[in-house]
Structure 1
């Protein structure tokens, strides 16, 4: 504001100075032009030898305010022509004291007071008489004095107006920043969900508010993710401790029993040892799963080779059927229900066959373990495009912790479905959580450690795909492994 005020004041002062100089020059040129164009009356020239030294009341009267002084051949002043109430110019006594050059006007002071006169020297060629013509500069000096006073008043008013209006305009322009300041104080003191109100993209403060709002959104999201991550870590530690405490308690109990009763029968000791070995194996499996999950979370390295998902699914079905002991009927088919099993075609993708087989094996193991005996289990393999019906994208009755794929993306799919009782919506929403088991008692007989689906999800994401669940109460569950198709 001060810079603009100084610049404007300098501009006004420069314009006023130029105006004063131009007007003064123009008025002075007008006076000089009048002096140059002045012609002496014939009567004044004829009576030049008899003029008195000061004008008499009945002397020759010249037009306007002209005054004329006469100097004889010897250069002495003879007298003056013209009169008036104002003091006349201070003419020199002889031409030797004249500073005016013929044809070039000059300024002389008045006989009294502060006024000035403009004088011009002219020579009469006939008798070598010198005439000095004078005009008063009272009008010019008065006009210039009034103009200077007016300019001073205008300059002062302009500076005061610029300062006053400038401060008001600056305060008005900074009003959004003031509101931003108050909102920022409220955000710091009370609620992180508050946002800056002025977001007009046409103004600098509006664009700044938009950027700050985006930054606040990201900060709030980061804080929420941090809180979620901390809560998840606490829950993970609690679940891991719970899972490890059960086998440790069993081992500790059988060990104390052996110390207190060393003379137990051999059959009891063997049974206790078997329980110790079983719980130790359970702990070993749990620790291995934890290590595997940690490696998968830390950007694991997967083999990238062509994988035939049909052969992989067939191997998984064969292994599952061998462990099912006829309690379940496991079938292998195509995504397209119209295709006969004998006409299945290979479905190739790129990935790590060992890890992908681990995912399919886990899905089959869960289907066999968590459904009643005799429940059919269907494994379907095929190539399709991502969509709400085929999989890979989100829809209301579909659960997944992985981001959805773009609609229409070419994908390879392995589905593991069953005709069991299905899952409740609240159970399906948590089925991919670590250590989560549908069995509220967390019994080992009804499931593993609760890390299988979390590991399978991590492997699917590591291959650029996702693991998802479609389920309806009374209509079974369908777990779907969706992987990018091979180019």
Structure 2
């Protein structure tokens, strides 16, 4: 299993947080945002320009209509007292009014059918408020929005002329609609084309990310690693920014692959050395044990000599056990095939607990077993060693009177679960993470009270024994290989082992997979005649 990322957990994507969006999404949105800004600027400029042009054109028409009305209203022209709308050239919608002595003498506008339309009292009030300075102004009347101008004629009357703004408003509305449709089409086109182009441009980065993700999921911590993932050549040429990153990543992967190969070769040399050394040590250790037994049978020793000879024999037996453990670990590291049979874990648990009761009757040994046997497919001797090592670990690192419970049960997926739980002092939190490491020892964290280091004088000896006795007992307490052997055996069987510990409860849990069904045997072929 790959180690967790040092950068911490990866955050999920949240559409409200732009920092979690894809880079291509942000690029497309930036491009569309720029296009919206450009279209908005063009639209505002076009609207303002068109409004100014139409207003200027309307003012020219209004000035001409006002001049015609003023000329038609002269007394000598014959229309001094007539309707100003009868002047030549007045278009549909044109408004005319004559103001004399602060009151509207006549007012009206040309309707769509060329008939004369009247004005309301409110409209006349608006006309009376105009200043006769020949400046066009916009006003809203009952007939609609108008551009009005008031002119004081030489003959004393004030002539008000107006043109409707409806055509101007329609033109501007049409311009806004056209700009909106063109902008929306441009945005849609940029969104589609930009997405395709950016996706194609970002494809090398996606290839880099895919390669890095695959490498991050490889088990690089141990064993021979085939690091064959590389960035494609199309994304690894140093001529571009992305290509330079891809090229650098390939160089880094080559370096890592070379380092992993050297590390594996070094590990294999160490394992081979340990296996060879352990194998070679078996012969002299067997000779030491044999000569020790021969001396005890044929020679007479003083009580101290007898005790020393017993120590020699016990240490040779301990070293033999250590050598056997190292050989077992070497075989497991090499991946040697297991001797698979149907193994009853309940029977192994009963036998192991029975052995521990004899060795440590001062502990409380309990069993929690199901009514039916729990059968797994595995190596019986190695699985027996797993349970024995866990029980031995509990015996060595707990006080007298500690309750040790061994449980076996069937898991939900058809596999098996073996637990060894004790109510001892627990494992130090800083040691839990490395409890399965080889030669790892936590003497100060989980030992018998008699073995815990206390305040002693330099060179002081425990009561009841010599310095040699103390060194021998300390060396016999643990070699630091028991739990690593448990982990190696369980992993060789395709299972897992973990530990949880707190003061008053330490539990080792072994999970083994369900037995695989045996492949169907082919029927023997019929003999040919």
TM-score, length of structure 2 as denominator length: 0.40
Largest Rg, 1 or 2:
1
TM-score, length of structure 1 as denominator length: 0.43
